[in-house]
Amino acid sequence: MTTTREDGFIHRLVERESSPEDLRALAALAADDDRVWDRVSAALRADAALERAVGAALAPAERVELPRPRAALRRAWLLFGWAAAAALAPILLFGRSPGERVAPPGALAGEPVGELTRVLLDAKKARGGEGLEVLYVRRLVERAFVLSLLEVGLDEHGDPAVAPASVARFRPPESL
């Protein structure tokens, strides 16, 4: 079956994608052929019938209630997932287990790359009356080499699940 210009105009009209130019061209075709509007009407009726049939076929599926995991069980699995992630974090991020030697507080765990501007959280007068007590976040940029990367997400039932992370998804942030 070959597709004509008229078929293209009618298709876009039925899909509600026609432009004013399409309608003018269709009217010009109808000036030469009285049956063009009959074919447009038939196409619109067929589209409406298809929409009703699909709606009727999907109606039973819309009434089906999917099972939901119990809230307490979901919370328990969520806490377990986060606990597992916290236990695995040193291995994943720094390539060592929790029992291995850890850098002393304040020391850099990875290879230092730089430091970003500090973010001020709070500033108030010091208790002694002189100066200010300033609370800020010191943002360090480090580089570490790891064997694999995992992430905690949700499975198809909404339960926490650990899965390999795709390196392709990680991009440098737009801004820090």
- Interval 120-136: pLDDT, tens: 888 888 888 788 888 88
**Buried/exposed code over 1-36 (b: 16+ C-beta within 10 A; e: otherwise):** eeeeebeebbeebbeeebeeebeebbeebbeeeeeb
* Contacts of residue 157, Cβ cutoff 8 Å, sequence gap at least 6: 69
For residue 16, what are the CA distances in angstroms to 9, 22, 93, 140, 171? Answer: 11, 11, 52, 54, 39
> What is the reported pLDDT for 122?
85
Handedness of CA 143, 144, 146, 148 (dihedral sign): negative
List the single range of 46-60, 72-86, 122-136, 138-152 with lowest mean pLDDT: 72-86
Residues 59 and 107 in one domain: no
| CA nearest neighbour of 102 among 85, 89, 90, 111 | 90
* Mean pLDDT, residues 7-23: 87
Q: Tell how far CA 99 is from the center of its chain.
A: 36
Adjacent-strand bridge partners of 160: 154
Per-residue pLDDT band at 45 (split at 50, 70, 90): very high
- Is the pLDDT at 95 greater than 60? The verdict is no
- Is the pLDDT at 175 greater than 50? The verdict is yes
Residues 58 and 79 in one domain: no
Per-residue pLDDT band at 102 (split at 50, 70, 90): very low
Residues 13 and 78 in one domain: no
Residues 83 and 154 in one domain: yes
Residues 36 and 90 in one domain: no
Residues 85 and 104 in one domain: yes
Residues 33 and 101 in one domain: no
Question: The domain containing residue 126 runs over which residues?
Answer: 71-169
- Is the pLDDT at 72 greater than 70? The verdict is no
- Is the pLDDT at 113 greater than 60? The verdict is yes
* Contacts of residue 132, Cβ cutoff 8 Å, sequence gap at least 6: 123, 124, 125, 126
- Structural domain count of the chain: 2
Report yes or no on 117 lying in a domain: yes
Residues 55 and 133 in one domain: no
Per-residue pLDDT band at 89 (split at 50, 70, 90): low
pTM of the full predicted structure?
0.37
Do 145 and 91 meet the contact criterion of CB atoms below 8 Å apart? no
Report yes or no on 17 lying in a domain: yes
Report yes or no on 100 lying in a domain: yes
